[in-house]
Structures are given as structure tokens and as C-alpha cells.
Structure 1
Amino acid sequence: MSDVALIMALPNESKGLFEQAGIQVHYSGIGKVNAAFKAFEVIQKTGCKTLINLGTAGSTYFDKHELVEVSQFVQRDMDVSPLGFAVGFTPFDTMHPAEIHLERYFEHLPSGICGTGDSFETGTPKVPCQLVDMEGYAIAKVCKKLRVRILSVKYITDGANDTAHLDWEENLLLGAQKLLSLYQGLK
């Protein structure tokens, strides 16, 4: 797996378990700008052919504690609708104006559309999606532009509701354990 790199948003999401297992994790920090910068940096420095994005997400569709493979990323906070564009659509971007489709790898997992935005979602997103995060779309866009394969699996920590911030924190360790087990199964 020397041509594979692993990216997660925060050390909280791995709880140190990946490092204890000798797995290098690149942490992007929170949000689309940090994620895009780190994804670009990781690809440039490692020369990886596949970037695996593991992390947490909220969902009103999937159950808590479920692992979900992302089949498509959309931007839930891109809103240029006053100029006549659909919410989620990036005007004048000819490569990926709205959705970024990912190939499936983990056929045993359910899959879903992930809406990425620079906010901790606690309600219904403006764009159709089954789970929400804060980094995935940006990572996927960098990968697509640089022709690097992207795989993404999210652990559902919360229901993207008014208790999401509490549920997220409470469910991180179990999420890290499940994500580590999945990643170790790749070898």
C-alpha cells in the first residue's frame, strides 16, 4: 500500500489508534480550505495514487455507528442562487460544478451522498444528501483535479440535529475502532 495515503480531519477521529498500529495519518484540520490544502500537500509529497479519506459524519438517514462509503460529494453550503444558480452548484467551474462521483470499493458497506460544508450541520441541508461532513468535497475535488483515486468512508456519529455536538464527541472512540478495522482489512 505504498501508493496509498490516508487523510482524516482531526486526531480526535483516530484517537491515536492508527498511530499505535503504525499507520501514518495526515490530518487536514477542519473545513474545506484546510482539507484542500492538506490533500494537495499530501499528494505532492507522497506521490500517492490513492487517497483514502476516513472520518466522521452526521446523518438523519443512516443510523449512528454505521460505516458508510461515500459514492458522491456535494457542497451543501455553495449558494449562488441570487444569481440564478442552483444551490450546491459552483458557477463557471467546468470540471466539477456540482457533484463529484467516487468509485465504490467497499461493496459490503451502504453508500450515500455526502454534503460538505463549512458548518456543523444540525438541520436539513439545502442540497439532497444522506450524510454531512466538513472536508470531503474539498479533498475529492483536489484528487479529481490531480487524477488521484479517492475513496471515502464515514462513521456516523450523530443525527445532524440539536444534540449532534454531544453525540459526535461521545462516539469518536467507537468510530476510530471501526475505521481502523476497515482500514486494516485493506492489506
Structure 2
Amino acid sequence: MKQDLALMMALANESKGLFESAGIDVHYSGIGKVNAAFKAYEVIQKTGCKTLLNLGTAGSSHFDAHALVEVTQFVQRDMDVSPLGFAVGVTPLDDEYPAGIELVPYFDHLAQGICGTGDSFETGLPKVPCNLVDMEGYAIAKVCKKLGVRLISVKYITDGANDTAHLDWEENLLLGAQKLLSLYQSLKV
């Protein structure tokens, strides 16, 4: 599998240099949906990968801190066109993926969750049903779906998506990188 796989993370902070030290090529997108969409497209075009593996961090008031969670669906927690009569989270006039993007699970031993993506650092309850939050995943998923590339996404829960989230995120990055590296190394070759 690894020969047809490309690895993408949002920030070098999320890998803490551990992946590079292990000789693993990581593509970093930067923060947010626009950066993530552009980088996903670029990586798929340059590498010709059949699978894009997105590893990173997320907040959750549902899952325990330090858990690894495989995302089975991405939704947009910041898509709000409700003044025009659309439900929050629904993208108007998007016939393919108006409200969410489903992923086929890969890992049978990980918890599974619905990830709400938005261009904000969430510190409260999202407006759409989800049990973890990030800032890039939905955009990556949409690019992968449109290009016919499988996406596997696993998030390390760094914080409770609350008023101390920014402090917890930074404090838990090294342990997260270690757990994500171990998971990557467990992939079948």
C-alpha cells in the first residue's frame, strides 16, 4: 500500500520531525480549507498516489484526549447559508456533496468519528453534528472524491475543543506525533 500512498499533514508541528527522522516523506498543507485543498490537489497530481493518508490533530469534547480516531465522515461546520433557507452545514447547489463526505474505514481497531471542518479554531459546540473538529479535512476529502483518490484520515485528539484548547493542543503535539508515527509504521506494505 505504501508505494501508492502519499502522506499529508497540516503543520510540521504535528509531526515534530519524527516522520522525517524515520525517512518518511510528508506533504504539509498549512492551516485551513483553502491551503488544504490546494496541497491535496498538488500532491495527487505530483505523486499519482491512489491513497492520500491525512494524519493530524483535532479537538473533541466527545473523545478522550490522546485517542486516535479514524474519520468516517467530514462535514463543514462553518458552512452557514441559513438566511437563504439552507440547513447549516449544507453547501448550496452542490449536487455531489451538499452536506457531508463519507470515507471507507481502513483501521478496524480505532474509534470512528464524524469530523467537522472549519476555518476557525473551535472552542465550543459546532453548529453541525460532529464529534471532533479540525481545519482542513473536509477540503482534502472533497479533492480526493473529485479525483477518485481514496482518503484515509486519522486524527490525534489533542484537546477538548474548549477554552483551554489552544494550550492543550501545543502541549500534546509530541505525544500525538509519536502515536501517529507508530500508526503509520503499522500500515501494510
- TM-score, normalised by the number of residues in structure 1: 0.99
Structure 2 counterpart of 1:109, one-letter code: L
TM alignment of 1:110-125, pairs within 5 A: 110-125=111-126
Cα distance, 1:123 vs. partner? 0.1
Q: What SS does structure 2 have at the residue aligned with 1:150?
A: strand
Question: C-alpha separation between the residues in 1 aligned to 2:119 and 2:109?
Answer: 30
How many angstroms apart in 1 are the aligned matches of 2:115 and 2:172?
19
Counterpart of 1:171, as a letter, is: N
Q: Which residue type is aligned with residue 106 of structure 1? A: F
Deviation string, structure 1 residues 48-69 (Cα, Å, up to 9, x no partner)? 0000000000000000000000
TM-score normalized by structure 2? Answer: 0.98
- Residue equivalent to 1:26: 27
- Residues 61-80 of structure 1 deviation map (CA, whole Å, 9 limit, x = unaligned): 00000000000000000000
Output the amino acid matched with 2:159: D
CA drift at 1:143: 0.1
Alignment of 1:1-187 (within 5 A): 1-186=2-187, 187=189
- Supply the RMSD in Å over aligned alpha carbons: 0.4
Q: Which amino acid aligns with 2:136?
A: E
Post-superposition Cα deviations, 1:3-54, rounded to whole Å, max 9, x if no partner, equal 1000000000000000000000000000000000000000000000000000
* Cα displacement string for residues 126-151 of structure 1 (whole angstroms, at most 9, x for unaligned residues): 00000000000000000000000000
Secondary structure of the 2:70 match is: strand
CA distance in 2, matches of 1:46, 1:105: 21
* Displacement over 4 Å in runs of 4+: none
1:81-126 Cα offsets, whole Å, 9 max, x none, are 0000000000001111111000011110000000000000000000
Letter in 2 for 1:65: H
Task: Give the drift of 1:2.
Answer: 1.6
Give the Cα–Cα distance (whole angstroms) in 1 for the partners of residues 89 and 176 of structure 2. Answer: 28
2-structure distance, mates of 1:173, 1:150: 24
* Equivalent position amino acid for 2:144 in 1: C
